[in-house]
């Protein structure tokens, strides 16, 4: 069975700084996808970034990047030069890359960016 754990329930940072959100996962599958999603205060949930387990390079999209440490089953989200609008809840998720498409989400980390 898959499991995704986000131990940080909330993080508070100052604007323009860099923040890292932690996520560890458990899976029996040898090939899988890891995702990060953002939920804004309005409730909207949007996909941010994906890491394929077979790729050694960390994924980067805009000011979001990942710190993928496969031996530690860890996929951290790094946000550089944070902005007020980055304040949101961030969810880590995973699913196997073949066969069973059942996704598993973590409980989320709330980020507050202060001016």
**Which residues of this chain interact with another protein, rule CB under 8 A?**
33, 35, 37, 43-47, 50, 91, 95, 97, 101-108
C-beta of 25: minimal distance to another protein in Å? 14
C-beta of 63: minimal distance to another protein in Å? 18
CA–CA gap between residue 103 and residue 93 (Å, rounded):
7
Nearer of residues 56 and 102 to another protein, judged by Cβ: 102
Q: Indicate the Cα dihedral angle 41, 47, 79, 25, nearest 10°.
A: 110
Nearer of residues 17 and 47 to another protein, judged by Cβ: 47
């Amino acid at each position: 069975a898959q499991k995704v754990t986000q131990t940080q329930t909330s993080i508070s940072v100052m604007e323009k700084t860099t923040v890292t959100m932690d996520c560890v996962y458990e899976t029996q599958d040898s090939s899988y996808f890891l995702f990060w999603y953002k939920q804004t205060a309005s409730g909207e949930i949007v996909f941010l970034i994906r890491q394929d387990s077979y790729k050694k390079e960390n994924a980067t999209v805009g000011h979001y990047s990942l710190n993928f440490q496969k031996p530690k089953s860890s996929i951290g989200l790094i946000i550089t030069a944070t902005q007020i609008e980055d304040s949101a809840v961030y969810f880590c998720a995973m699913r196997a890359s073949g066969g069973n498409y059942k996704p598993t989400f973590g409980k989320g980390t709330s980020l507050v960016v202060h001016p």
